[in-house]
Amino acid sequence: MNFVSLRFCAFFVAAVFVYYVLPRRARQPWLLACSCFFYMCWNPAYIVLILFSAFSTYLCGRALAVLGAPAAGNRGRRRAAMAVSLAANLGILFFFKYYNFFAQSANGLLAARGFPAVPLLGVLLPVGISFYTFQAIGYTVDVYRGSVSAEQRFWRYLLFISFFPQLVAGPIERSGNILPQLQLPARFSYERAKSGLVLMLWGYIQKMVVADRLALLADTVYAQGGALGGWATATATVLFCFELYCDFSSYTDIARGAARILGVELMENFRSPFLSQSVAEFWRNWHISLSSFFRDYLYIPLGGSRRGLARTCVNTMVVFLCSGLWHGAAWTFVAWGLLHGLYLVCGRLTLPLRKRLYTALRVPYGCLPARLWRTAWTFALVAFSMIFFRAGGMDAALSMVRSLLRPGAFPGREAVLAWGMDGPDLLLSAVCVAAVVLCDVLRRRWGSLSARLLQKPLAVQWAVLLAGVLTVAIFGMYGEGYVEKPFIYFQF
């Protein structure tokens, strides 16, 4: 059930209406029923996986609660309980997402040595499995560390794992944030509902007006694998960066808005990432729930930056190798992750040299030209890595990279129109990208734009909301003959 569908809109209106009509004690069971129904609309059989993930981590939490605080006599049993829970969740993730990838990679080596091939499995990747398994793993580790108490009621814990607004593509929430909110169902609030609707509307604008429009050119050029030339590759890659950003950010905003209407506040997942002045800052502002997950549950336990420069660099590469694999079971995602790890390692190693260079050139490190240069350079690095993220395979990605090295003369009008967009769509796409950048600049300066809007007079609020609805109605990608595009992160 895609967020960008009339079916979801009808489902959500019914879910909210019944939620606030029911007595407060019945609201959370109703939300759980809605969440299970929502997920079963994708594939009813895969609800078993969520139940398995939730039940295994719930039992682990209860076992840790029974064993009590760490002591000399129970540390082994506590570790065993957590290990079983982690193995169960990572096991189903490996089976459905990574088995065929590693089997295919192994088969190439086996065939070269005359050994029989490892059989492949005909299984589909369950929607959202990377998100809810990580959320369940985070709960297990938090209970083990003692940072949260084990949830006593299974149905409430299952709702935490399966809460439908963020079930399919995040944010990857922490139990310390969501479980306390689920214990006390909120009363209906007009102001909170209005704030949620503003967030949802902004999400629909990003998805239907911006992301799906930019996909026209990006999909066309990447389908040709570099054959359209370096200018086409560069343009498509830049537009894909904004397509991916608006596509994923739109899902997050719709999810956060829907959850807010239901009285649950989800974490922010993006903070103007393309205005970052370093790749490290980019990752503090991009997919925040995932980057903070890897920081807290992998990077810091590995030693973080506390064990010397060499160990810090190794830890960084391990984290981004895992991040690449989390995004997809393909060598292109491995390359994408390792490339970002390399960016961070090089950034850390060269920072003193770069600061000395600024001093030698007598350019203040914080002056506007220097900040603009760092922002542009960071975006260029991120955009280059996105070639591997978007390409259909390593051969296609390398072909796209080679095309950048021989751009040739800028193509004429007819050649540009062959990239997948006509003149009006190209112009509108440029306006959309400029609008996204402007909104991010204003967000950096003013904070939440939706909160700022809701402080304005009521007439201004409704005028802006009406303008947003008209923007979707006039410029949105939908209607007869248009094939609805799922959110990109659904595949992860």
The residue ranges of every structural domain in the chain are 6-185, 192-491
Cα gap 475→205, rounded to integer Å: 9
The token duo for 227 is 């054959």
Q: Is the pLDDT of residue 169 over 90?
A: no
What pTM did the predictor assign?
A: 0.92
| Sign of the torsion formed by the C-alpha atoms of 364, 366, 372 and 378 | positive
Return d(Cα 311, Cα 305) in angstroms, integer.
Answer: 7
pLDDT at 389 over 90: yes
Q: Residue 171: is the preceding peptide bond cis (ω within 30°)?
A: yes
**Which DSSP string do the residues of 206-223 spell out, in sequence order?**
IIIIIIHHHHHHHHHHHH
DSSP 267: P
Contact by Cβ (8 Å): 20, 188: yes
287 included as an active-site residue: no
Comparing 55-59, 173-177, 337-341, 425-429, the range with the smallest average pLDDT is: 425-429
Report the distance separating Cα 126 and Cα 207, nearest Å.
Answer: 23
Q: What mean pLDDT do residues 316-336 have?
A: 94
User: What's the pLDDT score for residue 67?
Assistant: 82
Are 271 and 288 contacting, i.e. CB atoms less than 8 angstroms apart? yes
**Tokens for 53?**
């993930």
Give the orientation angle of helix 154-162 with respect to helix 24-40, to 10 degrees. Answer: 50
| pLDDT tens-digit readout, 245-293 | 999 999 999 999 999 999 999 999 999 999 999 999 999 999 999 999 9
Our CA angle for 485, 123, 118, nearest 5°, is 130
pLDDT band (50, 70, 90) for residue 22: very high
Six-digit token string for 138: 């985070």
C-alpha 101 chain-centroid distance:
22
Instruction: Please give the pLDDT value at position 332.
Output: 95
pLDDT at residue 377 greater than cutoff 90: yes
Please state, rounded to an integer, the average pLDDT across all residues of the chain: 90
Confidence of residue 62 (pLDDT cuts 50, 70, 90): very high
pLDDT in tens, 189-248: 888 999 999 999 999 999 999 999 999 899 999 988 878 888 889 999 999 999 999 999
**DSSP letter string, 392-420:** SSHHHHHHHHHHHH---SPP-HHHHHTTS
479 has pLDDT over 80: no
Residue 72 has pLDDT above 70, yes or no: no
- What is the reported pLDDT for 70? 72
Which secondary-structure segment (H or E) carries 91?
Answer: helix 75-93
Q: State yes or no: pLDDT of 491 exceeds 90.
A: no
Which of 207, 260, 327, 340 is flagged as catalytic? 327
The answer to whether 219 touches 420, Cβ cutoff 8 Å, is yes
Q: Is the distance from CB of 175 to CB of 151 less than 8 angstroms?
A: yes
pLDDT, residue 121, reads 82
What tokens were used for 64?
A: 């840790």
